[in-house]
Amino acid sequence: MKRRSPYPIVRFILLALYLLGAIFPLYWIFITSLKGPKEIYTMPLQYLPSKASLASYRKLFSFSNFSTYFRNSLVITLISSLLAMAVSIFSGFSLSRYPVKRTKGILQLVLYFTQTIPTFIIMVPIFTMFTKLGWVDRTGALMLVYVATVVAFSTIMSKGFFDRIPTSLEEAARIDGCSMFQSLWRVILPITRPGMAAIFCFAFINIWNELFLAVMLLMSNDKMTVPVALNSFISKAGISWDVMSAGIVIALLPTMIVFGFGQRYIVAGLTEGSVKG
Amino acid sequence: MMEKNHYRWMLVPALLFLLLFIYIPVARGAVMAFQHYNLFDLSTLRFNGLDNFKAVITDKNISFAQILLNTVVWLFGSLIFQFVLGFGLALLLRKPFAGRGLYTAFVFYGWALSGFAIGLTWAWLFNGQAGLVNDLLIRIGILKQPIGFLSNPRLAMMSVIIPNIWYGVPFFGIMLLAALQSVPNELYEAAVLDGAGSVRKFVSVTVPYIKPTIVSTILLRTMWIVNFPDLIYAMTNGGPVNRTNILATQMINKVFKEYDYGQGSAIGVIIMVLLFVYAILYLKIVEDSKEELL
């Protein structure tokens, strides 16, 4: 007889520790946002607030234009993610089916190389370029930059998904008289829907979280995005943690929701392209 | 022939985006590194050779050696723990258990969060007045008075590395778990038949099989950590006395505070060259070790 291994218990304890570590910082910022401004700074700290209050959130939305910033972020993120998804459906499909091997290899190199370029290297040249074009402080221009920052990885992901679909499927559609676009639209896209969802989620998360390009390229207060607004809460005098904690919670929620729904697809997509974290 | 043209056209939008907003700006940035380019005084815009690099490296207020050292500590202090903890998590998750799907969603979701907001969250946890870490340490009896983790020069770097480890574990967990699940079971069965124990199985089957994933994720994460100023920017912005100032945050400061685009771009070029050399050396070492094994 084998003696009973202690592994299951050790494993259980370790998994519980990981879970605690992953959740606790976020639990803490959430709890802070529900405390009153006095309770926040009183030691010893309350690990469960005596009574939940929404005062910080009310303050957040009344003293700053936070609902405007939230709407800006949402509009910018949704439009540029959808655009990035559309662009990379075509580029990924083309790359997956491209007939010339050498060109295909070069194109992939061009895509992978972008993953090593830090965003802040392109920040200044884009700013000077936009100054000349009169595009500074234009939401639409920022959206174009955002599409560009995610389109390489989205293409790599999308190519991976199309690679799994046998070409015989579109060939059959072609024989039935479909054009290439029709066969892509009617036959192939419907079966790669999870893949497209992954691309959308990936783009959404990256664009929603972007700070420095938005700080650089947007000027007017009423155009600011959520990260830029949080950045503006940091003042020389310090940070009011009641309002800030509420702001952080609101900033984190959308990507948490997107990750919650799209987790399975995102994991598949990430490992497909096995690139950027 | 028609066919091929269709495929070409479908690539045009994506390539246009990359050309206009990534590749041309990168090239322009490389040129700027050799120009005197200050937003306050554009009339002095001219080529100045290596002056920007000299100015950055010989800066009297901010020692370049210190920034390089900080970058190295920040990189390896984060990377090693991210990898070890991420790998550990992936190993724990390899075999199915009830509720694994839900569990992974909860431990992996840090990947999707904003680095800047996470930095702010940890700045609050490490707060010197009423931070949770202070409160916990006082309760346990290690501390008597709250201390300023982020304002103490000796503790600041550790206090920004810990959140970065927290932030990076899900990425390694996701990637390595997927790799682990691709290891064919027959390999383990064969190893067991040969009398291998669990350590032996891990060293001789698991690690060699997923080595390509390990090599590529470590390289990508290295570039990513070096190019990730968001968290430090949110927590200390390089302070106190430059103890957490890395190349990336120094570049942000040159651009956002001093408006010196020439010197900022010079730092950007330095980062890219260093990473390029690092990548080549790293891949060379990995190649050589493969030959040794054979």
Nearest CA in chain A to B88: A14
Is B44:A122 a contact under the CB 8 Å cutoff? Answer: no
Is B124:A238 a contact under the CB 8 Å cutoff? Answer: no
Size of interface A-B (CB pairs under 8 A): 242
Q: Closest Cα of chain B to A274: distance in Å?
A: 7
**A182 vs B138 pLDDT, higher one:** B138
What pTM value is reported for the model?
A: 0.91
Report the sign of the C-alpha dihedral through residues A107, A108, A109, A114, in that order: positive
Q: Please give the average per-residue pLDDT across A138-150, as a whole number.
A: 96
Supply the pLDDT for residue A16: 96
Whether A178 has a pLDDT exceeding 90, the answer reads: no
For residue A23, the chain B residues in CB contact (below 8 A) are 106
Terminal alpha carbon distance of chain A? 46
Residue of B16, B89, B116 to mutate when probing chain A, most A C-beta within 10 A: B116
Average pLDDT, chain B: 91
Supply the pLDDT for residue A273: 56
Q: A113-131, pLDDT tens digit by residue? A: 887 787 878 998 999 999 9
Supply the pLDDT for residue A275: 44
Whether A106 has a pLDDT exceeding 70, the answer reads: yes
Topology (CATH level 3) of domain A56-273: MetI-like fold (1.10.3720)
Secondary structure (3-state) at B291: helix
Distance CA B71, CA B164 (A): 13
| C-alpha dist (Å) from residue A160 to A172, B9, B143 | 21, 20, 53
What ipTM does this complex have? 0.90
Distance CA A48, CA B41 (A): 54
CB atoms within 10 A of CB A63: 10
Is A253:A192 a contact under the CB 8 Å cutoff? Answer: no
Candidate from A15, A43, A129 with C-beta closest to B130 = A43
The secondary structure of residue B20, as a DSSP letter, is I
Beta strands (DSSP E) in A177-245 are none
Class of domain B68-245: mainly alpha
CA angle centred on B271, ends A115 and A146, rounded to 5°: 40
Phi, psi of B237 (to 5 degrees): 50, 40
For residue B179, the chain A residues in CB contact (below 8 A) are 271
Q: Which of residues 180-209 of A touch B (CB under 8 A)?
A: 180, 205, 208-209
At residue A272 the predicted structure's pLDDT band, cuts being 50, 70 and 90, is low
Alpha helix positions (H), chain B:
2-18, 24-32, 51-57, 64-93, 100-108, 115-125, 132-140, 156-181, 185-193, 198-201, 207-226, 230-235, 247-256, 261-293
Average pLDDT, chain A: 88
Q: Which of residues 52-111 of A touch B (CB under 8 A)?
A: 87-88, 90-91, 93-95, 97-100, 107, 110-111
Whether A277 has a pLDDT exceeding 60, the answer reads: no
What residues does each domain of chain B span? 25-59+247-294, 68-245
Q: Please give the average per-residue pLDDT across A215-228, as a whole number.
A: 94
Supply the pLDDT for residue A258: 93
Supply the pLDDT for residue A3: 61
Is A205:A253 a contact under the CB 8 Å cutoff? Answer: no
pLDDT (tens place) for every residue of chain B, 294 residues total:
456 788 889 999 999 999 999 999 999 999 999 999 887 777 778 899 899 999 999 998 889 999 999 999 999 999 999 999 999 999 999 988 888 888 998 999 899 999 999 999 999 999 998 899 999 999 999 989 999 999 999 999 999 999 999 999 999 999 999 889 888 888 998 998 988 888 898 999 999 999 988 998 899 899 999 999 999 999 999 989 999 999 999 999 999 888 899 999 999 999 999 998 998 999 888 887 765 544
Phi, psi of B130 (to 5 degrees): -135, 40
